[in-house]
């Protein structure tokens, strides 16, 4: 259980020169505001904001975010106003608290409320991504203490966490938060399959932990002998929900999943990453077509790492993930890592580009379920990088088609495309693109517009809207040319 002492200690460890007085003052303020309250579990209420703040402190976030986390429930659950918070802690903290308070009113109530909930989420992310980061910490602790709630409420919180919060965390590159949100929610949304997957993970770990430790020690010794400084080298188990989704793709055959157990190597530099990969391949036999270089070609959400699957003792399979410390923090905490690394002038996180897109999306009303499904494909599905012949990179959702690619380049390219080449070979316009494909769009400048049937197979909202918009305008022109009106707008008589 988090305490103010553990919180201050964590902040001091991350920022040795930090003045901890504002943190202590925020804690005292929140403690007094919540003094007479307790949670459904019976514990003192202050434990909740403390837990959220502790989680953010462990992510190495800065003081304003941690202060806002300590205060995030004060306006909604006590008699203290936002104005009072602003007077005591400034407008930046008050703005974050206000945003979290507004998100607190979101409740999962089926499709109609889901549409409105997503819109509110997008507004919050576009306004200040730190609001969502605080909300993730808040939700993680709520899920960890959810057993004290009635079953119906547990189901609602778990569903909205799985359907709304986790996908947004994933899109922001916050892989560890996404995994925790999914696993904690999955336990309540589908307890039977949760138990099944948990059993698989436990059995696999028990069977492989001795072998894994042997491989870890041999790898560590070889890296040290080569002069590579190891920041950390430890095993990790695949997240429960992630494994469940992967098993569904493989007809529930566990033999097809190679990354249940992995060794994660964190080293100092990018050069050390590649040197480590060479040493791993010298020690163990690499599995063909299982080497992935996400450092040279990072994932669209900013993820960077080297992955390789190798055969070790007795032909047992182990995946190695090799990365720097900065890559590791960005893989786990995504956009949140920016507030730690901005102190070291590391620049703006790649995920900010997606947040800018949300500013446009949230301005347009989402009216029905099809809008939501399209949006989930556009923004929450896994992403791929596809190349133009000139070497430009286009970021698309997984399974996007050449038509989606064409519209991502320019509306006119999409409207006039007639064929395509994928990796120099002619391909169908409705084929699914894969990460790393090089796509060339062939256009007919005389073509007036897209085939309306393309709307049935494109995957991106942008492509679908352009196709439908053209179809709608074409019908309008057709009708205008054929309606019996004179130049003065008067109807002609019919013979």
d(CA 224, CA 366): 56
The predicted model gives 436-441 an average pLDDT of 88
Give CA angle at 334 (104, 260), nearest 5°: 105
Least confident of 101-110, 184-193, 418-427: 101-110
Q: Please check the confidence at residue 376 and state whether its pLDDT lies above 60.
A: no
Residues shown for the chain: 495
**249 vs 72, which has greater pLDDT?**
72
| Pair 165, 136: CB distance under 8 Å | yes
Name the pLDDT band for 486 (thresholds 50, 70, 90): very low
Catalytic residue, candidates 43, 76, 343, 360: 76
pLDDT for the residue 380:
59
pLDDT for the residue 12:
94
The predicted model gives 57-71 an average pLDDT of 93
| Topology of domain 4-172, CATH | Hypothetical protein af1432 (1.10.3210)
What pairs with residue 324 in β-bridges? 267
Does residue 76 have an active-site annotation?
yes
Burial of 426 (0-12, 13-18, 19+ CB in 10 A): exposed
Please report which helix (H) or strand (E) contains residue 310, including its range: strand 306-311
Name the pLDDT band for 118 (thresholds 50, 70, 90): low
Least confident of 42-51, 55-64, 344-353, 405-414: 344-353
pLDDT for the residue 302:
73
pLDDT for the residue 493:
41
Name the pLDDT band for 491 (thresholds 50, 70, 90): very low
Name the pLDDT band for 492 (thresholds 50, 70, 90): very low
Name the pLDDT band for 124 (thresholds 50, 70, 90): low
pLDDT for the residue 204:
79
pLDDT for the residue 116:
60
The predicted model gives 75-91 an average pLDDT of 90
Q: Please check the confidence at residue 392 and state whether its pLDDT lies above 60.
A: yes
pLDDT for the residue 489:
47
**358 vs 204, which has greater pLDDT?**
204
Domain boundaries, the chain: 4-172, 192-344, 381-482
d(CA 136, CA 167): 11
Q: What is the CATH number of domain 381-482?
A: 3.10.20.30
**Is the pTM above the cut of 0.85?**
no
Mean pLDDT of the chain: 83
pLDDT for the residue 366:
47
> Residues 316-361: pLDDT tens digits?
889 999 999 989 988 888 777 765 555 444 444 555 555 555 555 5
d(CA 409, CA 427): 18
Give the sign of the dihedral formed by CA 235, CA 237, CA 242, CA 245: positive
Crossing angle between the packed helical segments 129-144 and 151-160, to the nearest 10 degrees: 150
Does residue 378 have an active-site annotation?
no
pLDDT for the residue 346:
47
Name the pLDDT band for 53 (thresholds 50, 70, 90): very high
The predicted model gives 433-450 an average pLDDT of 89
- Quote the tokens at residue 390: 């000139």
Task: Tell me the three state secondary structure of residue 341.
Answer: helix
Least confident of 163-177, 325-339, 343-357, 423-437: 343-357
The predicted model gives 1-14 an average pLDDT of 92
Q: What is the CATH number of domain 192-344?
A: 3.30.460.10
Q: Do domains 4-172 and 192-344 have the same CATH topology?
A: no
> Rounded to a whole number, what is the distance in angstroms from the first to the last CA of the chain?
87
What percentage of the chain reaches a pLDDT higher than 70? 81
SS3 content of the chain, % helix, strand, coil (to 5): 60, 15, 30
The predicted model gives 386-412 an average pLDDT of 87
Name the pLDDT band for 138 (thresholds 50, 70, 90): very high
Query: Phi then psi for 125, rounded to 5 degrees?
Result: -65, -45
Q: Please check the confidence at residue 368 and state whether its pLDDT lies above 50.
A: no
């Amino acid at each position: 259980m988090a305490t103010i002492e553990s919180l201050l200690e964590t902040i001091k460890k991350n920022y040795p020169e930090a003045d901890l007085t504002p943190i202590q003052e925020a804690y005292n303020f929140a403690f007094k505001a919540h003094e007479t309250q307790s949670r459904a579990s019976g514990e003192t209420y202050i434990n909740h904001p403390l837990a959220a703040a502790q989680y953010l402190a462990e992510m190495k976030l800065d003081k304003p975010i941690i202060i806002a986390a300590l205060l995030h429930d004060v306006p909604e659950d006590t008699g203290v106003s936002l104005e009072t918070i602003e007077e005591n802690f400034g407008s930046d903290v008050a703005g974050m608290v206000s945003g979290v308070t507004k998100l607190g009113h979101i409740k999962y109530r089926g499709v109609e409320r889901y549409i409105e909930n997503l819109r509110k989420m997008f507004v919050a992310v576009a306004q200040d991504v730190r609001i969502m980061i605080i909300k993730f910490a808040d939700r993680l602790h709520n899920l960890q203490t959810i057993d004290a709630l009635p079953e119906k409420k547990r189901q609602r919180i778990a569903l909205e966490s799985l359907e709304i919060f986790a996908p947004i965390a994933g899109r922001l590159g916050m892989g560890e938060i996404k995994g925790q949100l999914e696993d904690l929610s999955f336990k309540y949304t589908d307890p039977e399959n949760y138990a099944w997957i948990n059993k698989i993970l436990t059995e696999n770990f028990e069977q492989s932990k001795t072998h894994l430790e042997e491989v870890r020690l041999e790898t560590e010794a070889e890296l040290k002998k080569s002069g590579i400084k190891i920041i950390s080298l430890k095993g990790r188990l695949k997240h429960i929900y992630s494994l469940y989704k992967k098993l569904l793709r493989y007809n529930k055959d566990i033999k097809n999943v190679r990354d249940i157990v992995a060794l994660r190597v964190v080293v100092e530099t990018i050069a050390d990453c590649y040197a480590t990969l060479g040493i791993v391949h010298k020690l163990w036999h690499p599995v063909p077509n299982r080497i992935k270089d996400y450092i040279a070609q990072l994932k669209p959400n900013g993820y960077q790492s080297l992955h390789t699957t190798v055969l070790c003792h007795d032909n047992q399979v182990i995946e190695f993930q090799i990365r720097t410390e900065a890559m590791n923090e960005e893989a786990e905490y995504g956009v949140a890592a920016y507030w730690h690394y901005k102190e070291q002038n590391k620049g703006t996180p790649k995920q900010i580009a997606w947040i800018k897109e949300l500013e446009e999306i949230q301005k347009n009303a989402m009216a029905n379920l099809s809008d939501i499904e399209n949006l989930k494909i556009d923004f929450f599905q896994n992403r791929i990088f596809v190349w133009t012949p000139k070497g430009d990179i286009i970021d698309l959702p997984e399974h996007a088609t050449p038509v989606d690619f064409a519209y991502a380049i320019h509306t006119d390219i999409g409207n006039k495309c007639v064929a395509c080449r994928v990796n120099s070979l002619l391909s169908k316009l409705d084929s699914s693109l894969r990460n790393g494909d090089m796509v060339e769009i062939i256009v007919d400048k005389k073509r007036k517009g897209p085939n309306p049937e393309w709307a049935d197979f494109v995957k991106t909202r942008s492509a679908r809207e352009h196709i439908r918009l053209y179809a709608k305008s074409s019908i309008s022109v057709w009708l205008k040319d054929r309606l019996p009106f004179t130049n003065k707008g008067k109807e002609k008589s019919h013979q």
